[in-house]
Amino acid sequence: MDLDELAQRIYQTSHMTGEFVLRSGITTNEYFDKYRFESDPVLLDAIAEAMAPLVPPDTEVLAGLEMGGIPVVTALSRHTGLPCAFVRKHAKPYGTRRLAEGTDVTNRRVLIVEDVVTKGGQILQSTNDLRTLGATIDSALCVVDRQQGGHEALALANITLRSLLTATNLRPPTPHP
């Protein structure tokens, strides 16, 4: 499936209209329900296959952010053969009490994997937390960049945002004549 067809499939599967408040606090009348494309196994696999070439060659661990980044990183791991870590917003106070579950990130080159980026706030927070644990992070990869400041905010923190698609790519299918 080419990138235009993939963008149209994501749009058809995930696009919603109404009034929505994003994590960033922005109110929007257009929303992409990421859980709709993440819960479709065929579409998710096509997304991961298309994302695999965007993974920097020196990456040692893929780190998916809770909650939407988890299915994406799992599918991407299958296509790259790289191990993954599942990153919580906060370390849980019981069990292992770890912030990052799965593969250890200490002294490893880690790529942050997220589903949708708006302002980049969760990537910034999680990157700081993972760097504290000893991870080396200079890139993040997302399915959709909403093009609302995330790329620029991450660049200020020395993080390059790679995106499979942008908000510009996600549009209604063109009617056939």
Q: 154 is written with which tokens? A: 């991450």
Q: Is 129 annotated as a binding residue?
A: no
> How do the domains of the chain map onto residue ranges?
3-166
Q: Is 97 annotated as a binding residue?
A: no
Half-sphere exposure of 33 (CA within 13 A, CB side): 13
Q: Is 64 annotated as a binding residue?
A: no
Sequence length of the chain is 177
95-130 pLDDT, tens digit each: 888 889 999 999 999 999 999 998 999 999 999 999
65-68's contacts with Cβ under 8 Å and 24+ in sequence apart are: 65/89, 65/112, 65/113, 65/114, 65/122, 65/123, 65/126, 68/34, 68/35, 68/38, 68/114, 68/115, 68/116
Q: The tokens 């893929």 sit on which residue?
A: 62
Average pLDDT, the chain: 93
pLDDT of res. 85: 97
Query: Which CATH number is 3-166 given?
Result: 3.40.50.2020
Q: Is 122 annotated as a binding residue?
A: yes
**pLDDT, average across residues 35-46:** 96
Distance between start and end Cα atoms, the chain: 22
Confidence of residue 22 (pLDDT cuts 50, 70, 90): confident
Q: Is 118 annotated as a binding residue?
A: yes
Measured distance CA(13)–CA(47) in Å, rounded: 13
Q: Is 34 annotated as a binding residue?
A: no
